[in-house]
Amino acid sequence: MLSQSKPTNIAIVTSITGAKSFSMAMDEIKKEYGNIIDLKLYYVDDMVIEDVVSLKNFEIVWLDIRNDVSNVELIKNVLSNADNIVLGFSMGNIFGIGPIWLDREQSPSQQRIISWMRKRMEDMAGWNEKDFDMSKMQGMMKIMMKITGIIGKIPFKFFKEISRRTTVMEYWLYGGKENTKNLLLYLVKEYGGQKVRLKPPQEYFESGIYHPITRETFSSLKNYLERYGKTKEQTVGLLLLGGSNLEDSIVGASEIMRRLEDEVNFIPIYSQNFRYPEAIQDFFFLDGKPIVDTVVSFLLFRMNGGPIGGDPKLTLDVLKKLDVPVINASPMYLEETQRWQESERGLSPIEVIMQVILPELDGCIEPIPSCGYANSGFDPNIGGNLKAMTPIPDRLDRIAGRVEGWLRLRRKKNAEKRVAIILYNYPPDESGIGAAGCLNTIKSVEKVLRTLKDEGYTTDDLQNLDNLFIDKGILNAGTWLSKDVTAKNSILIENDDYLKWLESLPERAKEELLERWGNPPGDILTYEGRIIIPGIVLGNVFIGLQPSHGGDYQDIKRSLELYHDKTIPPHHQYLAFYKWIQEEFKADAIVHLGTHGTLEFTKGKEVGMSRECFPDILIGDIPNIYVYMVSNPSEASIAKRRSYATMISHLPPIFTDSGLYDELAELEELIHEYNEARLQDPNRAKIVRDQILEKSKEANIEEKDIDKIYDELFAIKRSIIPKGLHTFGETYEYESLVDFITFVLRYDRGEIKSLHRLLASLKGIDYDRMMQEQGNTIDNKPYAEVIVEIEDISKKTVSILIKDGIEEAIKHLKIFKKENQESIDDLEKSLTFGLEIASNLKKSDEIESLLKALSGRYIIPNIGGDPIRSPEVFPTGSNIYQFDPRLVPSDAAYMRGAKIADETLKHYKQMHNSYPQSVGLILWGFETMNTKGETIGQILRYIGVDLVRKNPWDVSLRLIPLEKLGRPRIDVVVNICGFFRDTFPNVIKLLDDAFKLVSSQNEPLEKNLVKKNTLEIFDHIKDETDSVELAMKLSNARIFGPSPTKYGTSLRDLINTQLWSSEEDLARSYILDMQYIYTADLHGYKSGKMFKEMLHRVNLTSQIRDSHDYDVTDLDHYYEFSGGLSKAVESVRGEKPEMIIIDTTKEIIKTENIEKAIQRGVRTRCLNPKWIKGMLDEGYNGTQHIQDRIKNILGLAATTNKVDNWIWEEINDRYVLDEKVRKKLEEINPRALSNMIDTLFEANKRGYWNTDEENLERLREIYLDIEGWIEERLE
């Protein structure tokens, strides 16, 4: 043993530990050299100020910084003012991307060189998704040495230091115990003057097979198979994290192998440079054919390029070819198991991005934490507690079980597979069977059953499913049906059988269920001591109605109240339903059909389920295949992460333009007549003008200006609306496809210009001006008529494009005289884009994707979103994922958001001659994914902050000077939903940092309303808060949302159940539900006082309408959030705020008050004969959508007080007094009609609809007739 007189003291600061490797390395070093190193390892998340300050006392500090936690900036400040050696690697903003080299360690000229080198590395970060090769990073320092012109300009000492740091990086990047040991020896030799023997960096094969148990390495598949053979029928591939994290990644992998080694073969592979597509091709294929049946991934980030990013096409191409599920074992490389176990949140924000969201982009499914760091106590080798990667046994059991589930689907014949198809019953009565967003579930189930039968599954066809379920009483609740009928025709579970299932639950979960619901079987859907399972079995296929989340047979209201509430455990019947599917029916797969149910909202962590989380308990080991609307990636992401769902996206309904009808159509004709008369007969024009004003009054358009009336008619006529619903597996017919592509080509998309804009340009017309001034004329023709002509030409062009191709479409457009080569080039780009979208849409094969999933195959991932504004969502049938949260807001979204902020402030100032003190703003995950962050851009512009984005991991904030801003910084109260909280944790931090940045500025308070409010609130709360530090955190907080256990508010429940006495109840409910603060440091901190302080300052509320699927009257969340916020502000301030809706679905962003937005939504959809016919043609499910809209209008009336009386009169006329429509509703879904009439009665009772007694009496008669008709039907 060699001994040295004085040990070199080294500090290791790490955010992704590797502590065990350092401990093992120190063991060997001590045996060989004695005490030559005094090592202290710090975990960056755990460091207190004293720890950070102590770093300056170490001779050498090694940093491994993977994310910018709160300590990192302080660490940099301390070390920048010390005189020790600092080395390491960073992936954050504070130290930058790449090797760490502090400025104090270099001369100014050397700093410029290092800055240039880091810039080259950042350029390699794949900002444009280039094919990044991690091996380039490994050799970066050497490469830089060879660049012409640099070597001659740097001093010898600096040259040597670059060489040293290159070697240090190689040790670190290659990883493993040997390299860790030699890294430490190299540090003490080069910087500590110790005399030691060491080996050069040990480079593994760039990729290979590494056996986690025997630790053998193989460079070829052939050698591995010769050693281990392929003795079992099926094989599982394992993806191990190479480099410095290999030791940690094998912890979970070895456990999976032990659990399944008797059943399957394994091929565990790694890549040193994050080029997993190549490794998969090399080791998961034999003679060009896949040899694995499922893959389990223990990786971070995406498969190609890792944290830096690379070309995703390489990954998708090889995974499509491999065609097997890729299960995300999600090791917690940054997290302690105990913290995860105790946390309601589950995985931390950075882990959600690294371990869940980014892998989802590659199509990885089922993120279940397989292992995490555990504190093993004090370890003298590292001078502190050893955190070692440790398996989580029950989670590994679950992963193994789910792997077996997917393997079973690949192994079994179709005739043997048992499939449970689950529909939703919301509301849980006769009107709500198979309720789903934009989907005709009844027709979809019938189509799926026919397909399954054709594919050899053991099942039967089924017609008129809705009538079958109602007639047999197969429901969760019913007004007219008896429980005797339901029990007779449903499945009954004996209490003794259920008790066995209940006892199998983890103790804590069982206690929670019993505490909330009492002893089994409970009182929800039970019959003579047995539990009812509403559903039917057709051979090997079960079709069931998902239990209501909290209601029982007689108490529909309780069910509605608890629909989105994950604070409560599921009740006995809910548990029995899924346990029966698991244990008795023994399903091989579950298909949840339609958007969306409640399984994913049952009690448990936000992300990273534990064994005590009910989504995990309820789904068990059964593959969960979820048919979901393509335009809703927000809620789809929750289902993917909490209930392990593999998504099968479906098309939206076909789209059409709203058109005009009745008085609106007559009004348009009169305006055309007026425009002609103005030129030819001025006297006649005056008469027609009076007729227009009279007719507009009849049509309830309160405008006196003819041009504004025309503008409103134009907006209604040209609005894009859905026509009917979608049936799963169907695609657009030719005419519908032409309409859709024409709508898509209305919009500018970067370099791809709007087809309509290009046609206007060829006519010599300013398109933006024409869109904003439809009443103005050109060549004596109103702009509105010219727009209609352009729309017709566009549609004809698209028709030719789809039939005959681009050349023929261009020929058609040569009717324009002004065309030139530049315009032709732009037209070709636009038409090429349109043709590509049409081609992708036609490739949508939803049924085929469902069959693939049922066969245990890979479902191609694709982004979700509004299909018109984001047509890259096609083809459907994909496993949809959310927009990469690191890119929020996108540059385009930031600019549009800034414009929205400017427009809303302009609108407010015109109305009030001042700026608002504060804006109350709604921020949804749904909208953020669709717009890529328009609301984020809006918030940042209000407070005067720009974004600077170097790459996805490096986003910084820059203050806009007040002089440039040209107005005060406006404060914002951000109201988020739970979906935003769960899917965009990084954006919450970004916004919180922005608010704190603005509050910290030395600016006049009248020019910085954010700071003004912060100081005032701090003064109000400081004496009531535990500490000054907490008071400052709270006074800086601007983001409020539901508690960590909820996703929304109770407003929808109150409206749906009628359980509210006054509008003050609604305001109080909203404040109670939304009083939870979210910042970088606080997660769901309850503070009603703070929320009220902020609401008291709000003068203006704002929300973006982002989706063509839904207008403000179509979605209950609009009244829940926008309406709820407005009502809460009114309650706190004593006066209503100005309510603004910003419609970004238009070519030109439209800002208008809530009253106009409601009116347009009603006119284009709920009262529009075209929309009504589309829904009635869909049958039972279509009527559900009608009743929902009428209930939403009641919600808007209660929360905004901006629903005019004429709207209720028109609803009554259209749906109840119109005998043809009423008879159709009675025939299709009488309960829906009775619900509509009930809503009309409530509107009248609460004072929102003022009508005469004769009208009300007629409604009563019709209501009684419906009941009699139902009773007669059921006799």
Q: Is residue 1144 part of a domain?
A: yes
**Is the pLDDT higher at 540 or at 673?**
540
Q: Is residue 2 part of a domain?
A: no
514 pLDDT above the threshold of 60: yes
- How many angstroms separate the CA atoms of 175 and 182, rounded? 10
pLDDT digits over 70-90, tens only?
Answer: 677 788 888 888 888 888 876
Which pair of tokens denotes residue 341? 């176990």
Q: Is residue 956 part of a domain?
A: yes
Q: Which of 184, 214, 215 is nearest to 198 (CA)?
A: 184
Q: Which of 275, 278, 263, 260 is nearest to 212 (CA)?
A: 260
Q: Is residue 1234 part of a domain?
A: yes
564 band by pLDDT with thresholds 50, 70 and 90: very low
397 pLDDT above the threshold of 60: yes
| Residue the block writes with tokens 């206007």 | 760
Non-local CB neighbours of 463 within 8 Å, separated by 6+ positions: 446
Q: Are residues 340 and 284 in the same domain?
A: yes
918 - beta bridge partners? Answer: 971, 1098
Mode of pairing for the β-strands spanning 60-65 and 8-14: parallel
- State mean pLDDT over 304-317: 82
- State mean pLDDT over 91-96: 60
Decide: 301 and 308 in contact? Cβ < 8 Å: no
Q: Are residues 903 and 945 in the same domain?
A: yes
Q: Which of 889, 898, 897 is nearest to 967 (CA)?
A: 898
Among 270-274, 363-367, 565-569, whose mean pLDDT is lowest? Answer: 565-569
- Dihedral (C-alpha) 142, 143, 146, 151: value to the nearest 10 degrees? -60
Which pair of tokens denotes residue 486? 């339901």
Decide: 709 and 701 in contact? Cβ < 8 Å: yes
1006 band by pLDDT with thresholds 50, 70 and 90: very high
- State mean pLDDT over 797-825: 82
- How many angstroms separate the CA atoms of 977 and 975, rounded? 7
Decide: 527 and 605 in contact? Cβ < 8 Å: no
248 band by pLDDT with thresholds 50, 70 and 90: confident
Q: Which of 184, 279, 286, 183 is nearest to 239 (CA)?
A: 279
Q: What are phi and psi of 513, to 5 degrees?
A: -65, -45
**Is the pLDDT higher at 298 or at 248?**
298
Q: What is the pLDDT of residue 1036?
A: 96
- State mean pLDDT over 386-398: 94
525 pLDDT above the threshold of 60: yes
CA distances 676 to 586, 685, 729, 779, 933, Å, are 73, 8, 49, 12, 45
Helix, coil or strand: residue 931 = helix
244 pLDDT above the threshold of 90: no
- State mean pLDDT over 813-842: 84
Q: What is the pLDDT of residue 375?
A: 87
687 pLDDT above the threshold of 90: yes
Q: What is the pLDDT of residue 774?
A: 74
790 DSSP assignment:
H
Q: Which of 1117, 1104, 1105, 979 is nearest to 1056 (CA)?
A: 1117
Which of the residue ranges 235-244, 362-371, 559-568, 821-830 has the most confident prediction, judged by mean pLDDT?
362-371
Helix, coil or strand: residue 431 = coil
Q: What percent of the chain has pLDDT over 70?
A: 91
Q: Are residues 574 and 549 in the same domain?
A: yes
* Domain range enclosing 1120: 886-1154
Q: Are residues 332 and 431 in the same domain?
A: no
Q: Which of 143, 91, 847 is nearest to 443 (CA)?
A: 847
Q: Are residues 826 and 916 in the same domain?
A: no
Give the 3-state DSSP-derived string for 776-812, with helices as H, strands as E and coil as C. Answer: CEECCEEHHHHHHHHHHHHHHHHHHHHHHCHHHHHHH
Q: What percent of the chain has pLDDT over 90?
A: 65
Q: What are phi and psi of 671, to 5 degrees?
A: -65, -40
- How many angstroms separate the CA atoms of 1082 and 996, rounded? 14
1091 pLDDT above the threshold of 70: yes
Q: Is residue 301 part of a domain?
A: yes
Which pair of tokens denotes residue 234? 């099926």
- State mean pLDDT over 1242-1266: 94
Q: Are residues 224 and 279 in the same domain?
A: yes
Q: Are residues 345 and 450 in the same domain?
A: no
Q: Are residues 981 and 958 in the same domain?
A: yes
Q: What is the DSSP string of 84-145?
A: SEEEEEEESSSS-EEE---GGGS-HHHHHHHHHHHHHHHHTT-TT-----HHHHHTHHHHHH
1064 pLDDT above the threshold of 90: yes
pLDDT digits over 864-897, tens only?
Answer: 999 999 999 999 999 999 888 888 898 899 999 9
675 pLDDT above the threshold of 90: no
Q: What is the pLDDT of residue 466?
A: 84
Give the 3-state DSSP-derived string for 725-759, with helices as H, strands as E and coil as C. Answer: CECCCCCCCHHHHHHHHHHHCCCCECCECCHHHHH
Among 111-120, 311-320, 874-883, 1232-1241, whose mean pLDDT is lowest? Answer: 111-120
**Is the pLDDT higher at 50 or at 970?**
970
- State mean pLDDT over 960-966: 96
Q: Are residues 836 and 892 in the same domain?
A: no
134 pLDDT above the threshold of 60: no
Mean per-residue pLDDT over the chain, rounded: 89
Which pair of tokens denotes residue 1261? 């008669």
435 DSSP assignment:
-
508 pLDDT above the threshold of 90: yes
Q: Is residue 709 part of a domain?
A: no
Element (H, E) at 62: strand 60-65
**Is the pLDDT higher at 325 or at 165?**
325
- State mean pLDDT over 182-194: 90
Evaluate the CA torsion angle 296, 301, 305, 311 in order and state its sign. positive
- State mean pLDDT over 1065-1074: 96
Burial bucket for residue 906 (CB in 10 Å: 0-12, 13-18, 19+): exposed
Q: What is the pLDDT of residue 182?
A: 93
Q: Are residues 921 and 814 in the same domain?
A: no
Q: Are residues 1050 and 947 in the same domain?
A: yes
**Is the pLDDT higher at 775 or at 761?**
761
237 band by pLDDT with thresholds 50, 70 and 90: very high
Q: What is the pLDDT of residue 1166?
A: 97
| Residue the block writes with tokens 């004329």 | 777
Which pair of tokens denotes residue 1218? 């119109």
Helix, coil or strand: residue 559 = helix
147 pLDDT above the threshold of 70: no
Which pair of tokens denotes residue 466? 């809705």
Among 185-189, 821-825, 959-963, 1068-1072, whose mean pLDDT is lowest? Answer: 821-825
Q: How many domains, in total, are found in the chain?
A: 6
Q: Are residues 1144 and 1182 in the same domain?
A: no
- How many angstroms separate the CA atoms of 786 and 765, rounded? 10
Q: Is residue 144 part of a domain?
A: yes
- How many angstroms separate the CA atoms of 947 and 258, rounded? 49
**Is the pLDDT higher at 136 or at 348?**
348
- How many angstroms separate the CA atoms of 634 and 308, rounded? 25
Q: Is residue 1179 part of a domain?
A: yes
- How many angstroms separate the CA atoms of 131 and 278, rounded? 12
Burial bucket for residue 45 (CB in 10 Å: 0-12, 13-18, 19+): middle
Choose one of 654, 685, 701: the last residue of a domain: 654
Decide: 917 and 1011 in contact? Cβ < 8 Å: no
- How many angstroms separate the CA atoms of 235 and 225, rounded? 12
